[in-house]
Structure 1
Amino acid sequence: MGKIILENIKLFGYHGCIPEESSIGSYYRVNIEVELDFYQASISDDLSKTIDYVHLYRIVKEEMAINSKLLEHLAHRIIQRINKIDLVQSTRIKICKENHPLKNNVDKICVILNG
């Protein structure tokens, strides 16, 4: 078993329950960990035996472009898409909103979901 990890993907999106969040938008940081067996890729040096991290990034970017009220919902959608990839055993995602209503008191708001 192994993991492919994409850390600190920075994307802009329009997620939130407050009207300003869905009209002004915010920057988000996304981390994903995908667990899979990439033993065959490690000995063959063959991309088809693993998961292309560019494909993982594209999934995150496409889902971030679809507005959600809740980060939990957004995280669930991303995990559902990633888990449809044949080699995936499990996925963990962390999404952090950088510009949020509690800005003066809280650095960032994050959700973590395992699937």
Structure 2
Amino acid sequence: MDYIHLNEMEFYGYHGVFAEETKLGQRFRLTLSLAVDLKQAGETDELKQTVHYGEVYGLCKDVVEGEPKKLLEAVAEQLASRVMEDFPLIKGVRVLLVKPDPPIPGYYKSVAVELTRGIFV
């Protein structure tokens, strides 16, 4: 299997359980790995044989900056579902959604949710 990676995209959204998260919002960092057969694209140099990652970025922006969810898990699931539905060449997707500044006490770099859907070898 071949892969396209969109690494550490950053968005501002209003997801979270706490009132201040849905009112003030916060940064989210997103990495997507897309399982795609890239052989034809490599041989033909044709965009139609691959996934336009600019369009994938736009979908991610719409989801993460869109309708607020309580849980990172819900945002990640929506991302995975939409990517698989909207881009038929994608056989699998791995979503790593990071909340760098969650409003919880303690010392840590971030919290994150990672999920994999479809065929991802």
Give the equivalent residue in structure 1 for 2:54. 54
1:102 aligns with 2:108: no
Residues 1:83 and 1:95: Cα distance change in structure 2 (over 3 Å): same
Q: Which residue does 1:89 correspond to in 2?
A: 91
Secondary structure in structure 2 of the residue aligned to 1:88: coil
TM-score, normalising length: structure 2: 0.91
Structure 1 spans left out of the alignment, 5+ residues: none
Bigger shift: residues 84-93 or 102-111: 102-111
Secondary structure of 1:100's partner?
coil
TM-score, normalized by length of structure 1? 0.96
Measure, in 1, the Cα distance between the counterparts of 2:97 and 2:112. 5
Name the CA distance, whole Å, in 2 between partners of 1:110 and 1:19: 20
Amino acid at match of 2:23: S
Q: CA deviation at 1:100?
A: 0.9
For the aligned residue pairs, the C-alpha RMSD in angstroms reads 1.0
Question: Mean Cα displacement is larger for which, 94-103 or 43-52?
Answer: 94-103
> 1:34-87 deviations in whole A, cap 9, x for unaligned?
001111000000000000000110111000122110000000001001111111
Unpaired runs of 5+ residues, structure 2, are none
Quick one: structure 1 residues 8 and 103, their matched pair in 2 at CA, closer, same or farther if it must change by over 3 Å?
farther
Which stretch shows the higher mean deviation, 60-69 or 101-110?
101-110
Identity value in percent: 28
What is the correspondence of 1:2-41 to structure 2 with a 5 Å cutoff? 2-41=2-41
Instruction: Name the CA shift for 1:108/1:69 in 2 (closer, same or farther; >3 Å).
Output: same
Task: Please identify runs of 4+ aligned residues in structure 1 that moved more than 3 A.
Answer: none
* Cα deviation, residue 108, structure 1: 0.6
